Amino acid sequence: MALLEIKDIHKSFGNLHVLKGIDLTVNKGDVIAILGPSGSGKTTLLRCINYLETADVGFMTFKNQSYDLSNTSKKEIADLRKHTGFVFQNYNLFANKTALQNVTLGLTVARNVSKEDADLIGMQMLEKVGMQDRANHYPSQLSGGQQQRVAIARALATSPDIIYFDEPTSALDPELIQEVLSVMKTLANEGMTMVVVTHEMAFAKNVSSHVILMEEGKIVEEGNSKDFFENPKQERTKEFLRKEEM
């Protein structure tokens, strides 16, 4: 049974038609890597699925509940987001709050969890991403990789059914990328369902279960990771993979 099913998403910004009828199915435990050149619509797709943008057209089924992506109530969006996590490219941490406070904020504010219980969960999540010793540090005192690990801990704190990652390593220096990918690999091995927009080919090849290539708002090719990398069917996919290997 699919955890998440998307049908026919379209999204335009003015005259620019960014998404042109995307379908996507995510089963529990899937790790889906979305690849593609800049401007292909990958981030917009992720943002529409989590209502950070409103699609012009499109339907979604999540945990057997149906949604019209172009017309959803604030209550429905709030309920939906209780089951999802989102990790942004630029961390999106609150500069005036410690690592622990950033992780617990969603619990205390959105879910009325007591501070004591939230701190307990927060420390467990920071430990999971190897950041427990930085719990009282502010974002300005952390490297980019450490900030992104705090952001992942924040996404995990609410026990989501699925986490969306929007190019989680693209803002990082090369030597910091691995520490974030390592955390994501651990989550994948533990069965966390993830949809990851990424340029990291090794992650897509070795960690994801399913790969999608997007270009100009459409899906060019998709398939299980092994087939996608070892036996791509579309000429455009072969060309894309050749360029990435250079």
Q: Which amino acid is at 79?
A: D
Residue identified by tokens 């050749």 is 242
Owner of token pair 């450490």: 146
Q: Which two tokens stand for residue 132?
A: 């427990």
- Single-letter residue type at 16: L
| Residue 59 in tokens | 């339907």
Per-residue pLDDT of the chain (246 residues; tens, 9 = 90+): 799 999 999 999 999 999 999 999 999 999 999 999 999 999 999 999 999 999 999 999 999 999 999 999 999 999 999 999 999 999 999 999 999 999 999 899 888 899 999 999 999 999 999 999 999 999 999 999 999 999 999 999 999 999 999 999 998 988 889 999 999 999 999 999 999 999 999 999 999 999 999 999 999 999 999 999 999 999 999 999 998 876
Give bridge partners of residue 224 from the DSSP assignment.
210
Using CA atoms, how far apart are residues 47 and 76, in angstroms rounded to an integer?
A: 16
Backbone dihedral angles phi then psi of residue 118, each to the nearest 5 degrees: -65, -40
Backbone angles phi, psi at 101, to 5 degrees: -65, -35
Domain ranges within the chain, ordered by starting residue? 92-159
Distance between CA atoms of residues 41 and 218, nearest Å: 8
